[in-house]
């Protein structure tokens, strides 16, 4: 389960490259963050609507915020039509399946961009 969820996450940069509306909304945004899927760490560097993912954990690698969740929750989140409660990052946080931590200012100030960015694998699974 974790391998398929990690593969879906690793597809996000190429999915973003083919989403011009999302690229336009992310223009000028620069941020480093951490995605954790089960035990797998993916360090994300976002610059001008381009995303680079580096597998980790990497010692001394900084990030502004982290979004951590179990592989089963990520897989359910990325289904083409997620079940109730698995459709939204905050719903999964409230259910204690995701943990959002760190400096949330960049995440919250571009909330719709990040929500749409992280939901990109849904389109690929339909």
Contact 78, 8 (CB under 8 A): yes
**What is the arrangement of strands in the sheet containing 50-55, beginning at the earlier edge strand?**
50-55, 40-47, 30-37, 65-69, 98-102
Average pLDDT for 40-56 = 94
Domain that holds residue 18: 2-125
CATH number at residue 56: 3.30.1050.10
Q: 53 with 33: CB under 8 angstroms?
A: no
Distance CA 89, CA 81 (A): 14
> Above 70 in pLDDT, residue 37?
yes
pTM of the complete model: 0.91
Residue 43 has pLDDT above 70, yes or no: yes
DSSP state of 11: T
Q: Count of domains in the chain?
A: 1
Burial code (b: 16+ CB inside 10 Å, e: under 16) for 84-120 equals eebbebeebeeeebbebeeeeebbeebeebbebbbbb
What tokens were used for 84? 């109730």
For residue 125, the model assigns a pLDDT of: 63
């Amino acid at each position: 389960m974790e391998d398929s969820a990690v593969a879906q996450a690793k597809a996000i940069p190429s999915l973003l490259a083919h989403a011009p509306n999302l690229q336009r909304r992310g223009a000028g945004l620069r941020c480093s963050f951490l995605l954790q899927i089960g035990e797998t760490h993916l360090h994300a560097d976002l610059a001008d609507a381009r995303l680079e993912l580096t597998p980790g954990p990497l010692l001394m690698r900084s990030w502004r915020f982290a979004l951590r969740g179990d592989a089963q929750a990520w897989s359910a989140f990325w289904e083409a039509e997620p079940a109730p409660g698995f459709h939204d990052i905050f719903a999964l946080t409230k259910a204690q399946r995701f943990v959002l931590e760190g400096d949330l200012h960049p995440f919250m100030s571009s909330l719709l961009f990040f929500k749409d960015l992280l939901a990109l694998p849904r389109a690929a699974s339909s």
